[in-house]
Amino acid sequence: MFNTFVGIDISLNSFNASILDEKGNIITCLKLNQNLKDFQKLQSALTEVAKRNDIILGLESSSNYHINLLSFLISNNFTVVLINPILISNFHKSISLRKTKTDKIDATTIARFLIKNHDRIHQFIPDDSIKLLARERETIAQEIAKLKTQIKQLVFNLFKELGDAQNVLTKSMLEFLLQIPSARSAREIGIEGIENILNDINRKRGRKIKLTAHQVMEIARNTISINDVNREIILRSRIRRLLYLQEEIEDLTSSLLSKMQFFRPIEMEILTSIKGVGEISAATFLAEIQDIHRFMGSHKKLIAYAGLDPIILQSGKFKGKFRISKRGNPHLRRIIWSMTLGTIFSTQRFKNYYQRKRAQGMSHKKAVIATSNKLLRVIFFLLNSDTLFHDIHPSPLQIIHS
């Protein structure tokens, strides 16, 4: 049982630590810098007032500024919890009407929050940063999607009919457009030059360009495309970035999957037993939730962690509409949305559930959200029981291991 509660408010270069006893009395407050010497000062101050096992520390998750101190404290065997800033903000409003806000007050508020809630929050367990790997992959995937849209828009302006005839986002067509980015440049280089470029590209591995040099020239001569050298330069630049990012995402995907298959093979097998959930989605989902047992046996906590829990705002005679809170993990929410769409398309159980919600009058978006919650309930059961998924079967589910 803890008898010493420490709230830490941290920023880029410094942090405030407020140390309280179990009755909420302030023992001491410290203002320290983000360096090893001051980390050690905090450690000394803590061990002077209590034993390590009697101390619990709380930090708000604030960008990346908390990570170094968090790692230091965990490596020195302190119990540390990472707290959602929204919880601290709401708690502060519940205990004070004053709007005064300082780093010292914030640190003390975190400590008081710990006194009232320490038995309901979990100790932070460091992972191997695999979540960062999954999020970096997600960031690059978003950049790739944006670049693809921009490239198609530029091709529409510069070489419209070629874009109508071919998928310009294949690797072979991107290489072609690097050398001939417009109808203007095709006319300038001539049939012989176009043929040499096509031959060079088609000798490489990958999808071949089926157009002949004469067909390309015919398109270039009969076009509504514009002549704009500056747009050509931008198109080439964006194609080079896209090709680079496609190589990067392949490397990140390979690293993510190999780590998950090594460290969490059973969970990966469970999730991919659901048709519509692929390896990448499963790996990203597991990276975000870290450990299913952290939700203390409640699928509702998992749903809330994803920000998919329903809320309603109403006052007096006004009845508000239901909506999801969106207060949870946005990365997890995005991957769940993708997984849900896949299962609606591929798995009869979730397809039936989605169609039933639509028949009840729900919009597509609301029906997908409802199906997302259904999917999370199923996943929660499967991961907690080490059970593979079976679609529309009344027979007992297969147990992976006892």
62 shares its domain with 173: no
Closest CA to 281 of 271, 294, 289: 271
Which residue blocks in 227-278 are alpha helix, DSSP H?
229-263, 265-272
Structure confidence at residue 401 (pLDDT): 43
Where are the strands (E) in 11-107, listed by range? 14-21, 26-33, 55-60, 79-83
138 shares its domain with 201: yes
Q: Is the pLDDT of residue 390 over 80?
A: yes
Structure confidence at residue 103 (pLDDT): 75
- Domain end residue (candidates: 204, 220, 252): 252
Please write the tens of the pLDDT for every residue from 65-89.
Answer: 888 999 899 999 999 988 878 788 8
Q: Predicted confidence band at 400 (pLDDT cuts at 50, 70, 90)?
A: very low
169 shares its domain with 276: no
Please write the tens of the pLDDT for every residue from 113-143.
Answer: 999 987 776 666 555 578 889 999 999 999 9
Q: Is the pLDDT of residue 378 over 60?
A: yes
40, 131 contact by CB (below 8 A): no
- Decide if 71 is inside a domain: yes
- Decide if 338 is inside a domain: yes
Collapse the DSSP code of 329 into the 3-class scheme (helix H, G, I; strand E, B; otherwise coil) and give the result: coil
Q: What is the mean pLDDT of residues 237-266?
A: 96
**In the chain, what is the straight-line distance between the N-terminal and C-terminal CA atoms, in Å?**
33
Whole-number percent of the chain with pLDDT over 90: 72
Give every CB contact of residue 173 below 8 A, 6+ residues apart in sequence.
Answer: 166, 167, 209
Which amino acid belongs to residue 316? Answer: G
- Decide if 305 is inside a domain: yes
- Decide if 400 is inside a domain: no
357 shares its domain with 283: yes
247 shares its domain with 137: yes
371 shares its domain with 308: yes
Please write the tens of the pLDDT for every residue from 333-372.
Answer: 999 999 999 999 999 999 999 999 999 999 999 999 999 9
101 shares its domain with 27: yes
Structure confidence at residue 399 (pLDDT): 43
How many angstroms separate the CA atoms of 232 and 183, rounded? Answer: 10
Sign of the CA dihedral with 293 first, then 295, 298, and 299 last: negative
326 shares its domain with 374: yes
202 shares its domain with 170: yes
238, 266 contact by CB (below 8 A): no
Q: Is the pLDDT of residue 396 over 90?
A: no
- Domain end residue (candidates: 120, 146, 170): 120
Average pLDDT, rounded, for the chain: 89
116 shares its domain with 215: no
Give every CB contact of residue 146 below 8 A, 6+ residues apart in sequence.
Answer: none
- Decide if 390 is inside a domain: no
Instruction: Tell me how many domains the chain contains.
Output: 3
User: For position 46, which CATH number holds?
Assistant: 3.30.420.40
Structure tokens at 316: 């007096």
- Decide if 402 is inside a domain: no
Q: Is the pLDDT of residue 34 over 90?
A: yes
239 shares its domain with 141: yes
Structure tokens at 400: 């992976």
How many angstroms separate the CA atoms of 315 and 365, rounded? Answer: 26
Give every CB contact of residue 394 below 8 A, 6+ residues apart in sequence.
Answer: none
Structure confidence at residue 395 (pLDDT): 41
- Decide if 64 is inside a domain: yes
- Decide if 223 is inside a domain: yes
Structure confidence at residue 394 (pLDDT): 40
157 shares its domain with 233: yes
Q: Is the pLDDT of residue 176 over 50?
A: yes
What single DSSP character describes residue 337?
A: H
Which single residue is written with the structure tokens 């194609």? 239
Burial grade of 143 (CB within 10 A; 0-12, 13-18, 19 or more): middle
Q: What range does the domain containing 279 cover?
A: 264-385
Q: Is the pLDDT of residue 257 over 50?
A: yes
Structure tokens at 300: 């509702």
Q: Is the pLDDT of residue 19 over 50?
A: yes
**pTM confidence score:** 0.76
Structure confidence at residue 155 (pLDDT): 97
Q: Predicted confidence band at 245 (pLDDT cuts at 50, 70, 90)?
A: very high
The separation between CA 133 and the C-alpha centre of its own chain, rounded to angstroms, equals 10
Q: Please list the residues that pair with 356 across neighbouring strands.
A: none
Closest CA to 227 of 277, 263, 296, 181: 181
